[in-house]
A and B are shown apart, each in its own frame.
Chain A
Amino acid sequence: MSRGLGEFEQLMLFAVLRLGKDAYGVAIRQEIARETGRDVSAGAVYTGLDRLQVRGYLTSWEGETTPARGGRRRKYYRLEPAGARTLERSYSNISQMADGVLRQLSELAAGDKGPQRGRVG
């Protein structure tokens, strides 16, 4: 039985998918930051990618090196069919559950801004 995907794992798989041939560490981090505003650390990206690769969702290969990297090679990732299926199932589950309640969700979120710290005076 395959384990479900966490939110961060979904974000990374989508980033790899969106980037296509250019999916390597820096690009993945920047893609996630650009689209979601989340600033994740390089370490977190690699530990997450490593985990997904162990599960067979991604493959990786070493790419070119640049002077800015101090001679170190990039590591590129590609989404594998197993990863694509899992991501698709995971995302469609969320979509199904969200279907028809998104407006209600938005209203709820807008109406209640959470516990407010009351300011006196």
Chain B
Amino acid sequence: MSRRPPLLGRLALRLLPRPHRHYVVGDLEEEFSESVLPRLGRVRASVWFLGQVVRSLVAFVRRPPRTSLPTRHRGSPIEVRFAMRSLLRRPAFAFLAVGTLGVGIGATTSVFSVANWVLFRPVPGVADPDQIVVVEFRDASGDDAGVSLANVNDLGEASSALSHLAAHTLVSLQVAGTGVDATSLMGEAVSGDYFELLGVRAAIGRLMTGVEAEDESSEAVAVISYELWTRLFGSSPSVLDRAIRINGFVFRVVGVADEHFKGIDRIERVDVWVPGARYFDLRHAPPSWGNTSERTARFYMQTLGRLAPGVQAATAEDQLRTAMEYLVEAYPDENQRYADYKPTVFEGTGAWPRERDLHSSYSLRSRGSRPADRGSQRGQPPDRARNPASG
């Protein structure tokens, strides 16, 4: 008959930490074979041995941890075991610590996910976002003013540094139609250059023309998002030329935007694009707002530009400022305020601010965005800027 204790117990004892394992195993084997086995017989001695194994393991797990480890164990597996044992001995603390870490990591991950979504990711569906800049009309105190589509177009014409200049603004829309449930969604009123500036294409149908976008007397048309087309119209091509009711006005759907394009606002997903000329109608503006085609009509729009290849934002800003000075001279009554509110170019690089307060500090890509540095350009008026009034 073997005088050795059961294999299971001997294997379990391997869990004990060194150097104690050596002596505990020796003691238990000695006692088993010399005193317990002769006294109790194989079965009961085995039970005794297994009981000792379990209790010894428990004793080691529950032993009070040292307050610190000798420095020679720093970074070793012993330190990991030390940490695990310390935690096991204080389950409430361990739960709290792990819970705190979990909440902290979760919160950080969530915040970063949102920040990444809002600030850092390229806006989907936009071609070459690095060339895109935001143009604002700011006075010395940093306050900004809206601008009319007529002025935006003249500025765009005058600036060779910008290949396009377009305006856009978010507007809440109620959409309804035959066979379409009334839906609240976010729309965007845009100027004629908007889609071309962003390099957006139509998935089906077409995008709106410049005349449709800016002439109030032309037909009211709308472009819808791919997502809305799928959700509300079952991806049916019959959506084209279909009449839908938006904020009480009838619009004709002329196209569906590219699948990836969801507008350029990083927070709001846009589902319908409507002509900028319809903005006052859709807002049910009072008569005092006047007509969208008037030079005095002020839109609280964001103005986007696309830099011509190889051109610096500072050059564009100088050109726009010179052009705006001409516009103030040419239309002194209408444009008087822009003697103070000067075009300011932000290197948006595919990111657009929503809140005025963010403008001075938003940083949208790793290299940041900032008002164009005009230091080296000052005093060198752009040669191609011309007076739009004379053109």
Chain A residues proximal to chain B, CB less than 8 Å: 24-26, 29-30, 41-44, 46-47, 50-51, 54, 65-66, 68-70, 72-75
Contacts and interface: CB of A to CB of B under 8 A. Distances in A.
Interface stretch (B57-65, B142-150, B240-248, B295-303): B57-65
B378 interface: no
B171 interface: no
A71 B259 CA distance: 76
A66 B57 CA distance: 24
B30 A42 contact: no
29 contacts: A25-B23, A25-B24, A30-B31, A41-B52, A41-B55, A41-B58, A41-B59, A42-B24, A42-B27, A42-B31, A43-B20, A43-B24, A43-B60, A44-B56, A46-B23, A46-B24, A47-B20, A50-B20, A50-B63, A68-B3, A68-B30, A68-B33, A69-B26, A69-B27, A69-B30, A70-B29, A72-B25, A73-B22, A73-B23
Given A44-B59, A70-B29, 7 more contacts: A24-B27, A30-B31, A43-B56, A43-B57, A70-B25, A73-B22, A74-B27
B34 interface: yes
Contact of B55 (A44, A54, A65, A74): A44
Interface of B: 3-4, 16, 20, 22-31, 33-34, 52, 55-60, 63-64, 66
Would you call the interface of chain B mostly helix, strand, loop, or mixed? helix
A72 to B, nearest CB: 3
Nearest to A72: B26
A43 B58 contact: yes
A51 B64 contact: yes
Contacts of B34: 68
Contacts of A50: 20, 63
Nearest to A24: B27
Contacts of A29: 27, 31
